[in-house]
Amino acid sequence: MAFQGDWKPFFEFLAEQIEKQTAIRDYLNGEKVIQGFLLAYLNVADFYITQSESEMNKGYSDIYMEPFLSKYPDLEYSYLIELKYLTRSEYCEDKLQEKIKDAQEQLDQYAVSDRVKCSIGSTQLIRIILVYKGWELDYCEVY
């Protein structure tokens, strides 16, 4: 992720781990259990200063992976991740598209924040949308 921008395998692996390591009752709080897993796994390596719910341009980003440029000046990528969650019972194509559209608008807003612009250096900012249907990763794409 940090040097080659190959982010998708990480999120696919994480989706497998979430499915293996959680129970139905974990999803009473929906998105937060997924976000907790993301934060735990993203912080295993220290290429990024991973921030959750950071205020950006009058909104709160789910996850901003600020490149740790003082330690790794050659990092090539930084990431903004917007996480959306649908229960299995509420899931339908229209709701999925609505969540994707909401995530796109939020990522547009966060990407132009002073905080992001001042901290990404010369890295390429990759904006990722993740939509979970219960414990299943249903949508995982760059915006």
pLDDT for 116 equals: 96
H helices within 1-143, ranges in order? 8-21, 31-42, 93-111, 114-119
Neighbours of 19 (CB within 10 A): 12
Question: What is the reported pLDDT for 72?
Answer: 97
Q: Max Cα separation, the chain?
A: 46
* Count of C-beta atoms within a 10 Å radius of residue 93: 7
What the block records as the tokens of 74 is: 């050659």
Q: Which residues of the chain have pLDDT under 70?
A: 23-29
pLDDT of residue 119: 96
Q: What is the pLDDT of residue 18?
A: 83
